[in-house]
Structure 1
Amino acid sequence: MPRSMDLNRSEQVQDSKNIRESSPASMPSDPLSQAGVVVEEKKTFVQRVLEPGSVWQIIIAALLAITIGLAVTTQVDEVPDAAVAILAIPGNLWLRALRAVVLPMIVTAMIMAIQRLRNMSQGDGKAGKLARWTIGYYVVTTIIAVAHSCLLVGLVWSKLMNTVSGDQLAVSEDDQEMIEEREDVAIHEVVVDMFYSLVPQNIVDALATDSLLAVLITAVVIGYVIKPGGALMKAVEEIEVIIMRIITVLIKLAPIGVFFLIMPNLFRLDIAEIGMNLGILIGGTLCGMVLHLFVIIPLIFVLITRQNPYTMWMKCSPAWITAWGTASSAATLPVTIRCVLERGVPVTVAKFSVPLGCLINMDGTAIYFPIVVVFLAATQGISLNAADYIIVVLLSTLASIGTTPIPSSSLVLVVMIAGSIGVPITGMYAVVVAIDWFLDRFRTAVNVSCDTFAAVIVTKITGIMDEDGEIDQETANIDPSSLGRRDEEKV
């Protein structure tokens, strides 16, 4: 019998070896594969381009949409509103489908992440450590973003802006009603609402009204008190599997969705109307974002992880390209999580830090607030002093954290910040509103990019890994049908 058992074991080992050699991609949990010893077969460029939903397809779709949009804008005096609305239908349908899965994804992801933290074999205190470092990192980088934006605005951009004439400062009746409505929002109301939004008094209402922060906090509590391995936990796992299958299909449709989101919006861009001041507003905002995304955050990334930040950023390109196309970090959340998992971030960290970052890590928005407030002031001949800039830093930090991750949600808070330092809202605010859709895409791309950097940084700082000290299966080869089944497969 011992000899028979040895022979059987030898045959099993040989069969396993043959399977690994013939299909290395089918063994994502193989330590050799994760260590880089067994390398997957490299795909040709054409194969990568033809892969459904690939980053190359998204890039090509975005470039094609920009080319067509700019060509039409420069050659046609005015594009009919009906044409713009009809062309936007496919993109908006795709965006609505993505946003439809965000809430259930946040709930299941947070519940699963908290359960993993509770069941990890690395000892107690990991959940608190992950929460402290994640929130702390997000707050610190947001303050840095606001600070260097104010510094650049005060030293450079404000000096290039010119005072405009009285006619350009005139406010139409419709805009005046909108401004008065937004001026009614007091600073303390924003602070109070932000804290109240942490604890919903009606969970069903929070789900129905897309109160993402309240939903996230509720999911954390449920994840902590839910019975491991119980019927409810199995239901959560099944829901996660369903959501990931839907997301997989939506990601494959991303090139089509991005194309029809970008092109109709470019039809509204009138290059001839972009004056000197508006050009400085756009250029200054983009320069601040470039500085933050390609200098400051990479410097932090290198100091902590000792990895190449630009390589990591390029490998996460599906996330920030989708963010640019959708102008919504919430809608991009499924793609962002997928990208960081592919970069080796443990599932526990990815499903905790990325949804949280989607809600409170708004570095791009934080950079935007100071320059747009100074734009409104400079066009009226108003100069801000040091005390005003300090107020702008504090309020911009608070406002960026409290901003909802949906398109153009920061416009209301711009009015609040400007009013707090005595800057009247004039007709130039309508100019800001008109161009906000364009800058909002870059703000969102920066926000999502910073979320991907943060996931890797927090992983390095906390040292958290998934069960058994290995990166979970989703990291090496994301298979939506296998998500949420890890504990079940071990039984």
Structure 2
Amino acid sequence: MSNNKKKLSLTARIVIGMLAGIIVGILLQFAFPDSSFVQTYLSDGLFYVIGQIFIASLQMLVVPLVFVSLVLGTCSLSDPAKLGRLGGKTVGLYLLTTALAIAFAVFMAVIFEPGVGLDLATDKTYQPGTAPSLAEVVIGLVPTNPFAAFTNANMLQVILFSVLFGIAMAFVGEAGVRIKSLFEDFNEVILKLVLMLMNIAPYGVFALMAKLFSETSFDTIFTLAKYFLLVLTVLLLHGIVVYSILLKSLSGMNPLMFLKKLREVHLFAFSTSSSNATMPVTLETVTKRLGVHNNVGSFTVPLGATINMDGTAIMQGVATVFIAQVYLIDLTLVDYLTVILTATLASVGTAGVPGVGMIMLAMVLSQVGLPVEGIGLILGVDRLLDMTRTAVNVTGDAMVSVVVAKSEGELDEDVYNDPTIRLTVRDK
């Protein structure tokens, strides 16, 4: 018994792995700046392999976890009106927080002027991918082959199929009850897998951080320090202050308890830079530690990981003003409003597209007549900022889940307010 008490918590082990990785990466960069051995066998070898195995192990569970949990949650909502209300509230809140995020970012960038006075080379090029049109997004919601949607991890299609499957189960009587029992068993197995994989998190986080900081150019960070610090500040203010205000005002729940219980989620998001890879941990935390009933959390969390991009919206707001200032282009009030509207709608329209943040930024720049090649100016520090904005995104997913659950009477407040409930990663 005493030995178990002496074991470090998951949060502590992840923090140790993260700090150790950062220190090792920085030491390798300064001690062996041009070493082909470090680059080939450590950065692109050992660290890369371990880090990618860690991310792949989390992503491996995303589709089955979303499918099983969403089917279970939906089949419990036998009232179609309640399902429609749940969807409307969730999408509406995600769009609201995204609009607030980019408006806040634009305001801060205009006030602090991160690009004024910088003499940066503007001959860097960037070729963004092509974002789908609104019509393509709407059509693409419906899977022509559900198995292909599962194989390609097309989350919007997986979500729609799961919801329809769950609704059908709710209306077929005894057959649906029998299938539901099977899905409940599957859900227990998948959640156990999530807890098992959390044990390798400290090693995966160490490898990801060691690789990143052994390759990051600190000269670039110093050159773009004002831009970097402004984006980071806005991300932290939005993730801590804005979400806390929204949570308290819309649900009445304690923001400090909320943030405290999200520590593991933040660490996973920060290290993986992927909302989808973090989704198993987010869903487990939202349902087990924050008291959101599964029929709500299984809908809001996967949808949020797909369309909620508050952190990305903040980057776009600051980056748009930054690029305009570097190129000495004045933006009007209409331009700023266009940026807010375009980025908010694009957060849904480009969901599921690889490199979504830069694709969305390219769309925004084009809408207000700014050179898309300006994206090349910020690519050097974007990887570090991406880690923080992913943590902001998953915080938004959890906040909306709690607010929607409270409004629907699907929040266990005793669980939410219990500080002793933790993510268990070891067998008792």
| Range of TM-score over shorter length | 0.7 to 0.9
Q: CA deviation at 1:79?
A: 4.9
Please tell me the residue identity of whatever aligns with 1:211: N
Q: Which residue of 2 aligns with 1:152?
A: 108
Q: 2:315 aligns with which of 368, 372, 390?
A: 368
Which runs of structure 2 are paired with 1:248-327 in the superposition (5 Å)? 248-276=195-223, 278-327=224-273
Q: Which residue of 2 is the match for residue 412 of structure 1?
A: 359
The one-letter code sitting in structure 2 at the alignment partner of 1:461 is S
Q: Which residue of 2 aligns with 1:225?
A: 168
Compared CA separation, residues 56 and 199, structure 1 to 2 (3 A):
same
Letter matched to residue 204 of structure 1: F
1:448 has 2:394 as partner: yes
Match of 1:328 among 266, 270, 274: 274
Q: Deviations over 1:413-433 (max 9, x none)?
A: 22222122111133x433422
In 2, Cα distance between equivalents of 1:256 and 1:408: 26
Deviations 1:77-103 (A, max 9, x none): 235331211122111111111111101
1: CA distance, partners of 2:80 / 2:358: 43
Q: Is the 8 A contact 1:323 1:444 kept in 2?
A: yes
Gaps of 5+ in 1: 1-42, 481-491
Identity of aligned residues (%): 27
- Of the three residues 119, 123, 140, the one matched with 1:164 is 119
Aligned-partner SS, 1:265: helix
Kindly indicate whether the alpha-carbon contact (under 8 Å) linking 2:258 and 2:290 is maintained by their aligned counterparts in 1: yes
Distance 1:235 1:353 in 2: 23
Out of 83, 86, 91, the residue aligned to residue 51 of structure 2 is: 91
Pairwise CA RMSD: 2.8
CA contact (8 A) 2:291 2:415 kept: yes
TM-score, L = length of structure 1: 0.77
SS state at 1:455 partner: helix
Distance in 2 separating the partners of 1:432 and 1:388: 21
The match for 1:197 among 110, 127, 140 is 140
Provide the rounded CA distance (Å) in 2 between the counterparts of 1:252 and 1:228.
Answer: 40
* Distance change >3 Å, CA 48–CA 284, structure 1 → 2: farther
- How far apart, CA to CA, are the structure 2 residues paired with 1:323 and 1:419? 30
In 1, the alpha carbon distance for the partners of 2:7 and 2:354 equals: 29
Deviation of 1:381 after TM superposition, in Å, equals 1.5
Residues 30-45 of structure 1 aligned to structure 2 (within 5 Å): none
Q: How many residues in Structure 1 have an aligned counterpart in Structure 2?
A: 413
1:412: how far off?
Answer: 2.0
Give the Å deviation of 1:329.
Answer: 0.7
Secondary structure of 2:327 counterpart? coil
Residue 9 of structure 1 corresponds to: none
- Unpaired stretches in structure 2, ≥5 consecutive residues: none
Residue 203 of structure 2 aligns with an amino acid whose one-letter code is: I
- Aligned partner of 1:137 among 84, 89, 93: 93
Where 1:267 maps in the other structure, the secondary structure is helix
Distance 2:3 2:318 in 1: 41
Matched, 1:206 2:166: no
Query: Could you tell me whether the CA contact under 8 Å between 1:347 and 1:471 is conserved in 2?
Result: no
Distance 1:46 1:240, change over 3 A: closer
Classify the secondary structure of the residue corresponding to 1:78. Answer: coil
**What is the deviation of 1:441?**
0.7
Q: Which has the larger radius of gyration?
A: 1
Q: Distance in 2 between matches of 1:281 and 1:403?
A: 25
Whether the 8 Å contact between 2:217 and 2:380 is mirrored in structure 1 is no
Residues 115 and 228 in structure 1, CA contact (< 8 A), matched pair in contact too: no
Cα deviation per residue 1:176-199 (whole Å; 9 max; x = unaligned)? Answer: xx52x64xx37xx43223222221
Query: In the TM superposition, what whole-angstrom CA distance separates every residue of 1:49-87 from its partner, at most 9, and x where no partner exists?
Result: 535xx1111111111112222233333323533121112
Q: Secondary structure at the match of 2:33?
A: coil
Distance 2:213 2:353 in 1: 19
In structure 2, relative to structure 1, the CA distance for the partners of 1:244 and 1:392 (3 Å cut) is same
The 4+ residue runs of structure 1 with deviation greater than 6 A are: 43-46, 469-472, 475-480
Shift of 1:247: 1.3
Distance of 1:290 and 1:115 partners within structure 2? 37
Is residue 76 from structure 1 mapped to residue 40 from structure 2 by the alignment? no
Structure 1 position 105, deviation (Å): 0.9
1:203-252 CA distances to partner (integer Å, 9 max, x unpaired)? Answer: 22222222111111111111101245535444433432332222121112
**Structure 1 residues 390 and 63, CA gap change in structure 2 (3 angstroms):** same
Shift of 1:355: 1.3
Residue 83 of structure 2 aligns with which residue? 127
Letter in 2 for 1:292: H
For 1:300 and 1:470, locate their aligned partners in 2 and report how far apart those are by CA, in whole Å: 21
In structure 1, what is the Cα distance between the partners aligned to 2:91 and 2:270? 24
The TM-score with structure 2 as length reference comes to 0.88
Residues 408 and 436, structure 1, Cα contact 8 Å, conserved in 2: no
Q: Please tell me whether the aligned partners of residues 50 and 207 of structure 2 are also in contact (alpha carbons under 8 angstroms).
A: yes
CA, structure 1 residues 76+112, in 2 after alignment: closer, same or farther (shift >3 Å)? same
- 1:458 equivalent in structure 2: 404
